[in-house]
C-alpha cells in the first residue's frame, strides 16, 4: 500500500482555501438572496405608498375619480414603468391602459374587501410579463368598500438592478477570495516556518547539540511548545553535563579504588610471600600477621562501603530505631577512631549532656558519625575534632567540627556525590584515601527524616551539622 506524503504547508493551505471558498460562496449566496428580496420589497413598498396616496385622495372626493387625477399619477409612475388599473366593488374596470387585463383570485379579493393591501413581489402567470403588483382598497367616506387600485411594475428593471448587485457581490467575493488566499498563503508559510524551526532544533538535539534555544516570544500553543522545548534542551544539557561529570568521577574513583585496593593487596601478597619463604624472621612473624590483618580489614571496609551505598541507593535498608543516649554514641565513635586520631596528632572531644536522647537506628548513626569523624581526621593534622550535641525546640542537633584544611565554597555542595573528590590532587597525597562515606551519610540522614549541612572555609576547618527530629515523650 502506497501512502502519499502531503506536506503540512499543503495541508494547512488547502484547509484554509476550503474554508475561505465555502465561506465566500455562502456569503455570496446569502447576500444575493438578501439583496434580491430587498430590491423586490423596496419596489413593492414604493407601489404601496403610491396606492395609499391615491386611495386617500379618492376618498376625499367620495370616489369621484377624474381621469385627470389618474393621468397625473400615471405620469409619475411612467418614470418607474408602473401601470395603474382601477376597478369597482364588482371587479369592473374603471380605468386601465389599453390591452391590459388582470384576474384577481378569491383570497386576494377577500383581503381587499377587508381593507387590507395585497402585495406580490413576483408574479409571472397572470400577466403577459413578470411583474410586481400591489392591490390597495378604496373606501367611501362611510367606510364601505368601493373598489380597488392595482399598481403593477415589470420586474425587468428590478432584475437588472439585482443583476448589477449580484455582479458587484461576485466581484467583491472574488477580490476577498484573492486577498484571503494571499493572507492564507502567508499565514500557512509563517506557521510552517515556526514548525520547521522547531524541527531543525530537534535535529540539533538528536545530533548532540544541547545548546540550541528557540527563544520564542509567541503566546500561542506553538509558542508554548517552543518554550517547553527550550526547557527540555536546557534539562538535557544539564543532564548530559551531569552524566559526563559523573563519568569522569567514576573513572577517577575507579583509579582511586584500584590504587587503594592494590596497596593493601600488594602488602598482603608481599608479606605472605616473605612469610612463606622464611624471609621474615620468626620473631617478626607476629607483626607481619598483624599487618596482613590490618590490610585485610581495609579491603573489607572498601568493599562494604560500596555494597552499603548500593543498598542505600536502592532503598534496601530497613531502619531499626531505638532510643539511646547521644553521649554513649559519641564515646563509641571517639574510642573507635582514637588510634586514627593519634596517628594524625588530633584530639577528639565530646560535649553533650547525658540527658540528650536520640531515637534512631543505632548502628546506622554510628556509621554516619564514624564516616564524618574519619573524614575530619583525614584532613586535619595536629588539630581538634569536636563532637557536640544539643536540643532545640524541634530538633536534636549533632555537630562535628574540625580545625583542618577546610573546603572551597564551590566544592561544598559537591562533597555528597559518590564519585566526587573536592581536590583530585589529594589522590596521591597524604589525604589520598578514597571512599563514598559522605554520600552514604546524606542518604542515611534522609532516611531518618533529618538534614545534614556543611559550613566551611578553606584553611579554617569544617563543621558538619546534623538535625534529627526531636524525641517526644
CA 42 to chain centre: 56
pLDDT, one tens digit per residue, over 348-402 is 999 999 999 999 999 889 989 998 999 899 999 999 999 999 999 899 999 999 9
Per-residue pLDDT at 324 exceeds 60: yes
Per-residue pLDDT at 3 exceeds 60: no
CA distance 218 to 446: 43
Which grid coordinates belong to 120?
406580490
178 in Cβ contact with 26 (< 8 Å): no
Decide if 304 is inside a domain: no
pLDDT, mean of residues 193-213: 83
Which is nearest to 263 in space by CA: 428, 22, 77, 16? 428
402 in Cβ contact with 364 (< 8 Å): no
CA distance 31 to 298: 96
Which grid coordinates belong to 300?
573489607
Decide if 198 is inside a domain: no
In which domain, by residue range, is 360 found? 320-469
Decide if 210 is inside a domain: no
Residue 421's pLDDT band (cuts 50, 70, 90) = low
Whether the predicted model's global pTM rises above the 0.75 cut: no
373 in Cβ contact with 410 (< 8 Å): no
CA distance 421 to 436: 10
Q: Which of 161, 184, 217 is the last residue of a domain?
A: 161
The mean pLDDT value of the chain amounts to 80
Per-residue pLDDT at 326 exceeds 90: yes
Q: How many domains does the chain have?
A: 2
Residue 52: how many other CB atoms lie within 10 Å: 14
Residue 435's pLDDT band (cuts 50, 70, 90) = very low
Matching residue, cell 593534622: 381
Per-residue pLDDT at 166 exceeds 50: yes
pLDDT, one tens digit per residue, over 99-155 is 666 778 888 888 888 888 888 877 666 666 677 888 889 888 777 888 888 888 877
Q: Which of 146, 161, 176 is the last residue of a domain?
A: 161
CA distance 107 to 116: 11
CA distance 403 to 391: 24
**Percentage of residues in the chain having pLDDT higher than 70:** 86
Decide if 247 is inside a domain: no
**CATH code assigned at 366:** 3.30.565.10
- Predicted confidence at residue 423, as pLDDT, reads 46
Residue 222's pLDDT band (cuts 50, 70, 90) = confident
The DSSP call for residue 405 is: S
Select the more confidently predicted residue: 304 or 376.
Answer: 376
Decide if 263 is inside a domain: no
SS3 253: helix
Q: What is the DSSP string of 341-396?
A: HHHTT-EEEEEE-TT-EEEEEHHHHHHHHHHHHHHHHHT-SS-EEEEEEEE-SSEE
Which is nearest to 74 in space by CA: 87, 63, 83? 83
Strand-pairing partners, residue 138, are: 147
Strand-pairing partners, residue 401, are: 386, 463
- Predicted confidence at residue 303, as pLDDT, reads 77
Decide if 382 is inside a domain: yes
Decide if 23 is inside a domain: yes
105 in Cβ contact with 132 (< 8 Å): no
Q: Which of 136, 161, 186 is the last residue of a domain?
A: 161
Decide if 273 is inside a domain: no
Query: Which residues are CB-contacts of 416 (< 8 A; sequence separation ≥ 6)?
Result: 438, 439, 441, 442
Number of H helices, E strands in the chain: 10, 12
Per-residue pLDDT at 33 exceeds 70: yes
Residue 424's pLDDT band (cuts 50, 70, 90) = very low
**CATH code assigned at 131:** 3.30.450.20
CA distance 375 to 202: 46
333 in Cβ contact with 326 (< 8 Å): no
C-alpha gyration radius of the chain: 53
Q: What is the DSSP string of 73-84?
A: HHHHHHTTT-EE
Query: Which residues are CB-contacts of 428 (< 8 A; sequence separation ≥ 6)?
Result: none
Range from 18-22, 239-243, 311-315 carrying the lowest mean pLDDT: 311-315
Which grid coordinates belong to 70?
389618474
SS3 473: coil
Amino acid at each position: 500500500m502506497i501512502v502519499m506524503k502531503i506536506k503540512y504547508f499543503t495541508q494547512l493551505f488547502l484547509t484554509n482555501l476550503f474554508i475561505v471558498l465555502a465561506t465566500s460562496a455562502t456569503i455570496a449566496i446569502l447576500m444575493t438572496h438578501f439583496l434580491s428580496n430587498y430590491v423586490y420589497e423596496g419596489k413593492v413598498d414604493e407601489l404601496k405608498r403610491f396606492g395609499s396616496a391615491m386611495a386617500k385622495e379618492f376618498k376625499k372626493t367620495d370616489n369621484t375619480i377624474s381621469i385627470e387625477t389618474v393621468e397625473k399619477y400615471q405620469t409619475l409612475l411612467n418614470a418607474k414603468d408602473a401601470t395603474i388599473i382601477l376597478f369597482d366593488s364588482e371587479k369592473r374596470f374603471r380605468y386601465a391602459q389599453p390591452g391590459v387585463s388582470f384576474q384577481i383570485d378569491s383570497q386576494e379579493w377577500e383581503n381587499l374587501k377587508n381593507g387590507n393591501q395585497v402585495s406580490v413581489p413576483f408574479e409571472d402567470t397572470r400577466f403577459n410579463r413578470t411583474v410586481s403588483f400591489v392591490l390597495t382598497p378604496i373606501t367611501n367616506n362611510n367606510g364601505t368598500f368601493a373598489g380597488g387600485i392595482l399598481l403593477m411594475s415589470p420586474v425587468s428593471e428590478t432584475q437588472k438592478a439585482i443583476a448589477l448587485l449580484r455582479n458587484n457581490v461576485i466581484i467583491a467575493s472574488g477580490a476577498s477570495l484573492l486577498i484571503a488566499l494571499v493572507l492564507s498563503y502567508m499565514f500557512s508559510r509563517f506557521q510552517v516556518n515556526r514548525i520547521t524551526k522547531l524541527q531543525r532544533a530537534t535535529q540539533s538535539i538528536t545530533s548532540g547539540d544541547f545548546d540550541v534555544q528557540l527563544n520564542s516570544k509567541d503566546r500561542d500553543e506553538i509558542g508554548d511548545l517552543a518554550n517547553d522545548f527550550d526547557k527540555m534542551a536546557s534539562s538535557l544539557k544539564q543532564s548530559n553535563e551531569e552524566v559526563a561529570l559523573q563519568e569522569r568521577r567514576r573513572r577517577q574513583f575507579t583509579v582511586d579504588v584500584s590504587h587503594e585496593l592494590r596497596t593493601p593487596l600488594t602488602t598482603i601478597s608481599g608479606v605472605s610471600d616473605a612469610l612463606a619463604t622464611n624471609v621474615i624472621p620468626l620473631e617478626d612473624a607476629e607483626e607481619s600477621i598483624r599487618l596482613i590483618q590490618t590490610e585485610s580489614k581495609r579491603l573489607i571496609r572498601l568493599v562494604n562501603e560500596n555494597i552499603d551505598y548500593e543498598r542505600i541507593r536502592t532503598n534496601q535498608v530497613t531502619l531499626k530505631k531505638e532510643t539511646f543516649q547521644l553521649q554513649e554514641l559519641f564515646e563509641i565513635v571517639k574510642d573507635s577512631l582514637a588510634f586514627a586520631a593519634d596517628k594524625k596528632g588530633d584530639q577528639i572531644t565530646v560535649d553533650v549532656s547525658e540527658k540528650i536522647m536520640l531515637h534512631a537506628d543505632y548502628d546506622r548513626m554510628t556509621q554516619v558519625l564514624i564516616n564524618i569523624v574519619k573524614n575530619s581526621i583525614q584532613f586535619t593534622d595536629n588539630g581538634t575534632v569536636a563532637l557536640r550535641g544539643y536540643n532545640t525546640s524541634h530538633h536534636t542537633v549533632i555537630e562535628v567540627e574540625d580545625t583542618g584544611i577546610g573546603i572551597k565554597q564551590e566544592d561544598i555542595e559537591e562533597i555528597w556525590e559518590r564519585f566526587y573528590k573536592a581536590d583530585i590532587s589529594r589522590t596521591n597525597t597524604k589525604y589520598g584515601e578514597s571512599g563514598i562515606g559522605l554520600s552514604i551519610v546524606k542518604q542515611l540522614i534522609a532516611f531518618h527524616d533529618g538534614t545534614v549541612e556543611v559550613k566551611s572555609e578553606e584553611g579554617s576547618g569544617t563543621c558538619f551539622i546534623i538535625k534529627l527530629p526531636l524525641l517526644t515523650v
